[in-house]
Structure 1
């Protein structure tokens, strides 16, 4: 696709406050951002898997048998990996545009000036917001692919494809508290930690969970925990507390029960430049072109530390309030007393 530069008539100058109509929310990237890792290899390790212990059994070894050691056996390990991928955007500003920021279009009042003052700063900021949102989407939905040539693109594995062990198909039913508790039980049954789990869900599911709590006489505790400035509500299940948060980039009818402790972004910086840097490209005429470049992947940890709900009802079902109140000696109320 041919370059499109910001020019005087292509991108008009206006006065007034700027409002972004696009969605720039990135809660998952924000909440795990403080645990970022770096790598100098496109493929990185998310962990090793092995099995020992199992369900347990009672040995039956006689004293005579104990005089001879049992045959040796080993426990094998399997390494799990993911890859980083490239995120790249470009902006171009003509010299004419840079020198014409004082020309305003639209309705103007005396002494007003263009907002933004710098076209380059505005265009770069908009691209950064786009890249951040693309990363958020990829961390949730990314389909894994490891490149086999320079013409093949690496793609990092997101959480939805990664989670394969603890899954629950809701078959168009609303997600309720006991469904969440059942998923916590699945994670417990997979021998994974159950402390600090967070349900990552959309607005319909969050409403439904609150409605289910009200019907069952339970309480969703708001702002029960804060991580990197992200406030999380909480609800108590028989196995432990589950935190709730309104996520982004989730497909309709999908929710994730996440162990945030094992999630981390993985950066692959360019030596001498860092990661997600802005640099000017070679000039070919009366304008300047810049590129924003970075490489990042998701370390999702052991996939059985998380859970996945699919096929959740996408329509909110209002609760039918039906609490009964029992009054002692109700038959005598209103009767005169001697």
Structure 2
């Protein structure tokens, strides 16, 4: 696609407050940001896997047999990896546009000035917002690909793709508390920790969980925990507390039960420049062009530490409230009516 520069008639100047209609929420990136890692290699390690312990068994070794040592055996390890990928955007602005910020379109009122006052700053800020949102989407949905040539694309593996062990297909049914508890049980059965699990879900599912809690006489505790400024609600299951959050970029009908403590972004900085930096490009005329460049991937940790729900109903089912309130000595209550009749 040909370069599109900000020009005087292409990007008009207006006065008034700026309001963004787009979605710039990036809760997952925010909540895992403090655990960021760096790498100088496009492929990085998410961990090693091995199996030891198992279900347990009672040895049957006689004294005579013990005089001969058993045959040696070993436990092998498998390394798991992911890759970083490139995020790159460009902006351009003509000299004429930079020098023409005093010309206003739309409603012109005395003493008003253009907002923004600097077109380049505004265009760069919008690209940063786009990249941040693209990273959030990729961390959730990224389809893995490792390049083998310079012309191939590296793509980092996102959480939806990564989670393969603990999965539940809901078959278009609503997600309820017992479904969450069952997923916690699956994670426990996979020999993974169950402390601090967080359900990452959409608004319909979050509504359904709250309704299910009310119907079962339970309470969803708002703002029960805060991580990096993100407040998480919580609900209690038989195996432990599960935190709840209204996530972003989830595929329809999908929710993730995440162990956030093992998830981290991985940066691949450029020596001498850092990561996600803005730099000017070569001039070809009366304007300036800049590029925003960065490389990042997701360390999702052991995938069996997490759980995945798919096929969740996309419609909210209102709870059928079953609580009854009895008023003492109420003659209209059949129980009290019998008592009154018996005492008459």
Query: Which bracket does the TM-score occupy, shorter chain normalised?
Result: over 0.9
Match of 1:248, SS state, is coil
- 1:224-235 maps to which residues of 2 (within 5 A)? 224-235=224-235
Where structure 1 has 5 or more consecutive residues not aligned to the other structure, the ranges are none
Match of 2:147, SS state, is coil
**Equivalents in 2 of 1:213, 1:331: separation in Å?**
34
Deviations 1:24-44 (A, max 9, x none): 000000000000000000000
Partner of 1:331: 337
Partner of 1:266: 266
**Equivalents in 1 of 2:32, 2:22: separation in Å?**
23
**Equivalents in 1 of 2:239, 2:318: separation in Å?**
27
Deviation at 1:331, TM superposition (A): 3.1
Deviations 1:243-288 (A, max 9, x none): 0000000011000000000000000000000000000000000000
- 1:176-255 maps to which residues of 2 (within 5 A)? 176-255=176-255
**Equivalents in 2 of 1:235, 1:299: separation in Å?**
27
**Equivalents in 2 of 1:256, 1:331: separation in Å?**
52
Partner of 2:331: none
Partner of 1:170: 170
**Equivalents in 2 of 1:229, 1:108: separation in Å?**
40
Partner of 1:94: 94
Partner of 2:142: 142
* Structure 1 range deviating more: 103-112 or 163-172: 103-112
Deviation at 1:337, TM superposition (A): 8.1
* Structure 1 range deviating more: 60-69 or 221-230: 60-69
- 1:1-338 maps to which residues of 2 (within 5 A)? 1-325=1-325, 330-331=336-337
- Give the number of aligned pairs: 338
Match of 1:239, SS state, is coil
Deviation at 1:126, TM superposition (A): 0.1
Deviations 1:198-222 (A, max 9, x none): 0000000000000000100000000
Deviation at 1:310, TM superposition (A): 0.1
Deviation at 1:66, TM superposition (A): 1.1
Deviations 1:109-147 (A, max 9, x none): 111100000000000000000000000000000000000
**Equivalents in 2 of 1:140, 1:169: separation in Å?**
18
Two-structure CA RMSD over aligned residues (Å): 1.4
Deviation at 1:180, TM superposition (A): 0.1
**Equivalents in 2 of 1:289, 1:300: separation in Å?**
36
Deviation at 1:67, TM superposition (A): 1.3
Deviation at 1:322, TM superposition (A): 1.6
**Equivalents in 1 of 2:50, 2:272: separation in Å?**
39
**Equivalents in 2 of 1:74, 1:337: separation in Å?**
82
Deviation at 1:333, TM superposition (A): 6.6
**Equivalents in 2 of 1:325, 1:192: separation in Å?**
43
**Equivalents in 1 of 2:336, 2:149: separation in Å?**
81
**Equivalents in 2 of 1:95, 1:336: separation in Å?**
97
* Structure 1 range deviating more: 58-67 or 175-184: 58-67
**Equivalents in 2 of 1:194, 1:231: separation in Å?**
20
Match of 2:231, SS state, is strand
Match of 2:32, SS state, is helix
Where structure 2 has 5 or more consecutive residues not aligned to the other structure, the ranges are 329-334
